[in-house]
Structure formats: structure tokens, C-alpha cells
Structure 1
Amino acid sequence: MSQCLRTTLNPPKTLLRNPTNSSPVSSPLIHLPKSKKHSRISMSQQNQQELSLDSLINSTRKEEVLGAIKGSLSYCLTETSLNKTVPALKSKVRGKVRDIYDAGDYLVLVTTDRQSAFDKILASIPFKGQVLNETSLWWFDRTRHIAQNAIVSAPDKNVTIAKKCSVFPVEFVVRGYVTGSTDTSLWTVYKNGVRNYCGNALPDGLVKSQKLPSNILTPTTKADDHDVPITPEEIVKSGLMTEADYCEVSSKALSLFEYGQRVALEHGLILVDTKYEFGKGSDGSVLLIDEVHTPDSSRYWIAHSYEERFQKGLEPENVDKVLPDAPADLVCELAWRYIFLYETITKSKFELPLTENFASSLQEPIHDRISRNVELALSSLR
């Protein structure tokens, strides 16, 4: 059996509470190749930014951003129909957030402002699509040393053009902490007595929000619109991936997550968990696709208060993306949180309309702007 598929089924019976600033503990989990470039992150890291939840709630920047958000509530990008306005686009697939268009050798991915939770569209959030698109592009650019990606260009704030590739039917979920509330979350299955999850042998004695001894990979596949946890051995035996492809992709996923944790921590955040998707290009190379470390694909906590709250048994302070419903004030708050995360991670100001009256700043309708930019970009690729 390949080393990257091997598991240890007899973990230690107990595990001491492991605050974020403690030394890494050797893991009884899946043995995957370790990245040589990126060491384990530590809360004592010298260049860590001290970020508090007050920055999210009471900053003067929030007042400025909320003004633009409120002026944009009626101008969200909820639906697109580029296949009717751009001749080179052949068909459309509507996802939860992205509209994906077939452009021959390329895919045109339009990130809308749709907000979904538990497979339901709740609302449209101003600037969400732009935030997600630009956040992913920022990470794609900075992770090329770890994984090649499918990005070709970004001709519009809401658009990415990518190489068409054969997508692996597996989502690579990487977790650094025991948390979550869904049926497939690590804390849910752990508190129900599961001690081997997706091939990872878990020790007794873990508590909610605890940092794992090392990051783990918990792959899932789709069945009837819900995620199904799967082990590395099952992935290979069922033919979803070859063993060589799985070993390569799993190594890249863990290295991406470790790098993302380090960057997030430098900016005052903890990257708790995330998911990655990969595919194979026409030349056979493995490519990172979809999105990277966005507020939709990832969970972030405030780093500064984590250890104290964990020791007191309190939930970590987080930048939550899920709302039970979405009246206007909650929509505005969620839009601000997306922008807050973007600015915190990238250390750059999010581009807002020149005026709080979004309509007056529009030189052309949003859909027309996107159509024009996509058509120009595709013509340059012919």
C-alpha cells in the first residue's frame, strides 16, 4: 500500500489540550508527504498582526463601506445570461454562486452575488461576487509555487477565464481544528464516537474547537446534492482517482492549507478549514481550480482571542458567512464581513463605487459591462 494511503488505526487513548502556541505533536493520522518549504505555524510568530473582533464591529472603515453597500442593494449581480450576449459562449451551467459558460478550450466563470446556505439561495449580497473572485485570484497568484492553476485571465471584477480540464470528482477538505455543526463536520462525527474518519485515526480526548495535532485531509464526493465522506482507499478502489493522482493532489492540498494558515495568521486570522478542487489539464498536469481560501470555501477565526476563549470553553470569535434569513440590515452586515475578510487577508482596500449612490456611478449596466469584457478577452485568445 502506498505511503500516502496508509493509516494508523490505533491512536493514543488520550490527548492533552493543545493550544495554538504549543509545539506540534506527531500525528497518528494519514501519513502524507510533508512540505519542506512551509513549517508549522505558531501563535508566537513574530510578524503576526493583532486583530480583534472590534475591528470587524466598530471600525471607521465599516461606516464607509456600509454606505456603499446600502447604495448598491438594488444593483446586485444575481443572474447572468452571457450565452445570449457573447457569441463565443456555447452553454451555461448555473451553480450556487457561479455561472459557468463553455467557451471551447476555456471556461468563463462569473461569480455572482447570490448567497446560499444548505443548498438554498437566501439573498443577494452586494459586492460578494467581486470579493470572492478577487480573493481567489489573490491566492491563486501566491500559491503557484505549490500548485499550478487553471487561471488564464480575469477580464472583469466578477469574471475569471480558466483552462478547461477534467475535474476530479472529489473535494479535498482540509481541517486544522475539531469544529463544525453539519452532519459531516469533524466535531459532529467525533462527539458521536467516530474515531476513524476518512482514513484519519483520531485520538480520544479531543474537545470542540481544539487544534488537531496536525492538519488532516477528509475528502468527500457528491451523491444526490450532498457531501459523502470517503477514504483514500475508497477513492482509488472506486476509480475516482488513480493512486498516483491522489497522492499528488493530497500532498498539494495539505501544502496549500499550511501556507494559507501561515499567511492568515500573519494577518490576525486562523484558517480553520477549507476545501480545494483539482483537475487535469490537456497536457496531463494537475491543476488547482474553482476557488481558494475564500469566505465561502473556508472558515476563519480571530486569532488574537482564540487561546483564551478555548481555555475558557468559549466558542472562537469568527467571521460567519451563514445567516438564518436575510433582511436588508443582515445583508449589509454580511456584505461588510466579506469585504472585511478580503481587506484583512490581502492588505489592500476593496474597490468601492466612487459614490454611495451606486446607480450614478454605473457607466453601463453590470451585465453589459461583463459581456463586453468577456467578449474582448475571448477574442484575444483566438
Structure 2
Amino acid sequence: MELIHSGKVREVYADGDDLLLVASDRISIYDVVLPTPVPGKGRVLTQLSLWWFDRLADIAPNHVISATDVPAEWAGRAIRCQHLEMLPVECIARGYLTGLGLTAYQESGAVSGVRLPDGLVEASRLPEPVFTPTTKAAAGHDEPMTYDEVEDLVGPATAAELRRITLEVYRRGADLAAERGIIVADTKLEFGKAKDGTIVLADEVLTPDSSRFWPADEYQPGRPQHSYDKQYLRDWSTSIGWDRTAPGPEIPGDVLAVLTARYSELFEKITGRPVTG
């Protein structure tokens, strides 16, 4: 096998016509990989993505070939998947106003060109989920894109499919999570095209690295929410005055313990079982 890409969290290996996507325990915030790994995180991301891929397959095909036909040392945190032509858009669906969406709304009343109602506050539920794409930057930060800009980049037909699938995945995920007492505030998806031109859901889906999850019984708009995702780590990094530039700070043991517990708790609440391996 040949290592063809090493990202912030995952390594991608070529194995014949297939790819092996291997999730590490690295964690990044504000596009900086922190020096402290999060034990078991790669397994949570991989196994939760697989759980969701199974429940979203009628909305869009996904890149999974096998979760078991992988080298033994990567079992539980690797996926054998299709080789795709990845699309240069980060596809984000927002059902609640938070994060960079909240910042953009406070500045302009809109997110990625989507005008939102007046008077919304932090964590407000939106009237309906919105598609707020960003660029996919090789270096630096992703930048907001309007829908017209997505059309210009990938073409009207592909843009329409990306928006449709993203919003349907979000709605399905939010509905299933709600049954388990979890709010999905937003999520980020990636897509590629197969050789026949089919748009395929790839990378990870509805994980605590790519989404914001809140306990429904503690939800209260107008303030930050308890999170089962890496927002907890972002908030900690702000509290210590980190300037969001590399190298990132070491994660202290108490913060790491809380983060690890929240990732595991989310997995169990969503799937009904513990992480394996």
C-alpha cells in the first residue's frame, strides 16, 4: 500500500483500485492539529460514520466498500472505500445558529448569502435547515460560499444535488438523533464523483468532529450549549487565551478526560452500544 495523503486526522492509502481511509486519534481545532491525541477518537469517528452510512444509503450512495477488509492493525478505525474525484466544496447544513454561522449572522444578517430572520440569538433554531457551503482550502481557513458561487464552481446540476443531499442527510440525522435525546445543530459533509459521474457521500458523516451535538433536555437558546463534540475543546482553548496559531497547546489531562468521555457518550447515545476495539 502507498500513503497518498496525510490529513489533519486521517491517512489515505492506495490499495489497488481501492483506498484505505484510516482515522487517527489526532484532533484539530481552528485548522491546527493539537499535539495531544484523544484516545479512541479514531474508532469513534470511523464506527459512528459507518452506523450513519447504513442509515443514509437511500438518500445517497457512499464510498464504503468494506469495514472489515482492512489490515488488522487498523481494525475498527479504517474503511476500505472507493476512489473518487473529490468535489471542492465543504457542504454544511445548519439547523441552529452557532459557531461561524452565528458570527456571520451577527455581522450581516445572513450566512453564506442566505438571509435569516431578524432577532435570532445564539443557538436559535432556524425556521428550516439551510445550506451554507464553504471552500475546501488546502491550506488556511475555509471561506463561506454563496450558492451561486457553488454553481459557478461545480455546475448547476451538481450544485443542486449537493444542496439536496446535504439537507436530506441533515434532516434524517437530526430526526434519528432527536429520538435519542440529541440535537444536531449543524453538520459538514464531503462528496466525490464516481467514474460514472454519480455523486457519492464520502469521508465521515455526522461525527463529533464534523457536527455539533447538544443534549435536548439542556437546550436553551441565548447561551452556549453543552456539547458532545469538539466545541468543548474550542471553548477550552479560548479560555486559556490561545491565539489559534500553530503550534497548538497540549491538552491537559482533565480536559482530555472530559473530551474522551463526551465522544464515547455521544457514540453510545446515538448507536445504543459502546465503541468496539
TM-score (norm 1): 0.64
Structure 2 unpaired stretches of 5+: 69-74, 238-249
Map residues 235-250 of structure 1 onto 2, 5 A cutoff: 235-237=150-152, 240-250=153-163
Matched residue, 2:203: 290
Q: In the alignment, is residue 301 of structure 1 matched against residue 217 of structure 2?
A: no
Map residues 115-264 of structure 1 onto 2, 5 A cutoff: 115-122=27-34, 123-155=36-68, 156-180=75-99, 185-192=100-107, 194-223=108-137, 224-237=139-152, 240-264=153-177
Residues 134-161 of structure 1: per-residue CA shift (max 9 Å, x gap): 0000000110011110100112201101
The CA deviation at 1:285 is: 1.1
- Return the alpha-carbon distance in structure 1 between the equivalents of residues 85 and 190 of structure 2: 11
Contact map agreement 2:211 2:229 (CA 8 A) in 1 = no
Matched residue, 2:7: 95
- Return the alpha-carbon distance in structure 1 between the equivalents of residues 44 and 76 of structure 2: 9
Task: Give the partner amino acid of 1:332.
Answer: A
Task: Report SS of the residue matched to 2:21.
Answer: strand
The CA deviation at 1:178 is: 1.1
1:111 aligned to which of 9, 18, 23: 23
The CA deviation at 1:329 is: 2.7
Task: Report SS of the residue matched to 1:226.
Answer: coil
Hey, which of these two has a bigger chunk of strand by percent?
Answer: 2
Structure 1's consecutive aligned runs of 4 or more residues displaced over 6 angstroms after TM superposition are none
The percentage of aligned residue pairs carrying the same residue is: 42
Higher relative contact order at CA 8 Å, sep ≥6: structure 1 or structure 2? 1
Task: Report SS of the residue matched to 1:229.
Answer: coil
Contact map agreement 2:76 2:276 (CA 8 A) in 1 = no
Matched residue, 2:262: 337
Task: Report SS of the residue matched to 1:228.
Answer: coil
Matched residue, 2:190: 277
Task: Give the partner amino acid of 1:316.
Answer: Q
Residues 66-107 of structure 1: per-residue CA shift (max 9 Å, x gap): xxxxxxxxxxxxxxxxxxxxxxx1333111110111224211
RMSD: 1.5
Structure 1 unpaired stretches of 5+: 1-88, 353-382
- Return the alpha-carbon distance in structure 1 between the equivalents of residues 252 and 122 of structure 2: 31
- Return the alpha-carbon distance in structure 1 between the equivalents of residues 254 and 120 of structure 2: 38
- For the structure 1 residues 317 and 280, does the alpha-carbon distance in structure 2 shift closer, same or farther, using more than 3 Å as the test? same
The CA deviation at 1:186 is: 1.2
The CA deviation at 1:120 is: 2.1
